[in-house]
C-alpha cells in the first residue's frame, strides 16, 4: 500500500532524513517512534508532499507520489492529521469535518463519510456548532482525525495523536483509532513516547537523527535496551 524507499530530505541545507525506508500494508497499524527532532514529522510531511526529497521515493497503491502536490495525494486516498491539529478556527466542528468531502468528492457518499467520522468520535456530536477556539486540546485532536477520516482514505497519517493530551482523554482517542482500524483503514502513526504505541500496532520503526535504527514487532523493540535508551523507554 505505502512504500517509502531511501528518502533523503533536506530542509534548506540541513540533511534531515537519511535513506529512510518503511512500508505500511493494507489494514496495518505502523508506528514511527523517535525523540523530538528525530525526523518523524518530516517523514510524514514528505509523504504528504510538503517536502520534496532529493533522493528516494514514495509509492502509494503502486503510484509514485513524491512529486505530486498535497491535494493530489489526498485525493488518492491519504488522510493526514498533523501534530498541531491544523483545524480551521473560524469554522465549526461540523464545517471542519464536512470540508474533507469537498476535497475528495469521489468514493462513498458524503453523508456516509460524515456519519463514520461521528461514529468513531461520538463526543464531537455535542460540539458540532462550536468553533476551534472553543474546543479543548483533546477535542481538537479528535476533530483533526475525524476530518481526515471524512476524506474516506485508504490510509491515515497521524502525527503525535496523543501528544499533549490529558491522561483522561487518551483512552478515548485510542478507542477511536482502534475503531478506525476495524473499519479497514491502515494507519501510519508518529509517536515520541513508546508508551503511547497502541497494543493493536502491528509493526514499529524507530528513527534517530533521520535514520531508521529499528524495524520490527513492538514486542521486539522492548527487548532491545540500546533502542529503548534512544527513545526514552527506560528510566
Cβ atoms of residues 212 and 230 within 8 Å: no
What does the pLDDT profile of the chain (235 residues) look like in tens digits? 999 999 999 998 899 999 999 999 999 999 999 999 999 999 999 999 999 999 999 999 999 999 999 999 999 999 999 998 889 999 999 999 999 888 887 778 899 999 999 999 999 999 999 998 899 888 999 999 999 999 999 999 999 999 888 888 899 999 999 999 999 999 999 999 888 888 889 999 999 999 999 999 988 887 888 788 887 754 3
Q: In CATH, which superfamily holds the domain spanning 2-231?
A: P-loop containing nucleotide triphosphate hydrolases (3.40.50.300)
Angle formed by the axes of helices 110-120 and 170-182, nearest 10°:
140
For 211, the grid coordinates are 535514520
pTM (whole model) above 0.85: yes
Is 16 exposed, middle or buried, given 0-12, 13-18 or 19+ CB atoms closer than 10 A? buried
For the beta carbon of residue 162, count every other beta carbon within 10 angstroms: 22
- Closest by CA position to 220, among listed 210, 231, 211, 228: 228
Domain locations in the chain as residue ranges: 2-231
3-state secondary structure (DSSP) of residue 226: helix
Amino acid at each position: 500500500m505505502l512504500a517509502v524507499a531511501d528518502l533523503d530530505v533536506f530542509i534548506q541545507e540541513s540533511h534531515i532524513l537519511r535513506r529512510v525506508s518503511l512500508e505500511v500494508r493494507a489494514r496495518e497499524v505502523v508506528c514511527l517512534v523517535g525523540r523530538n527532532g528525530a525526523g518523524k514529522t518530516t517523514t510524514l510531511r514528505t509523504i504528504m508532499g510538503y517536502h520534496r526529497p532529493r533522493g528516494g521515493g514514495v509509492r502509494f497503491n503502486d503510484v509514485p507520489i513524491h512529486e505530486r502536490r498535497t491535494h493530489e495525494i489526498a485525493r488518492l486516498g491519504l488522510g493526514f492529521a498533523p501534530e498541531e491539529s491544523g483545524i480551521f478556527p473560524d469554522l465549526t466542528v461540523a464545517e471542519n469535518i464536512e470540508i474533507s468531502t469537498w476535497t475528495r468528492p469521489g468514493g462513498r457518499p458524503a453523508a456516509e463519510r460524515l456519519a463514520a467520522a461521528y461514529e468513531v468520535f461520538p463526543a464531537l456530536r455535542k460540539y458540532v456548532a462550536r468553533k476551534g477556539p472553543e474546543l479543548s486540546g483533546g477535542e481538537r485532536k479528535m476533530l483533526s482525525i475525524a476530518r481526515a477520516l471524512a476524506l474516506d482514505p485508504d490510509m491515515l497519517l497521524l502525527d503525535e495523536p496523543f501528544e499533549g493530551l490529558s491522561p483522561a482523554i487518551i483512552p478515548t482517542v485510542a478507542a477511536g483509532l482502534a475503531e478506525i482500524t476495524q473499519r479497514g483503514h491502515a494507519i501510519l502513526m508518529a509517536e515520541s513516547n513508546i508508551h503511547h504505541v497502541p497494543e493493536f500496532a502491528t509493526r514499529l520503526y524507530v528513527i534517530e537523527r533521520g535514520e531508521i535504527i529499528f524495524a520490527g514487532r513492538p514486542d521486539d523493540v522492548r527487548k532491545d535496551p540500546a533502542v529503548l535508551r534512544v527513545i526514552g523507554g527506560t528510566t
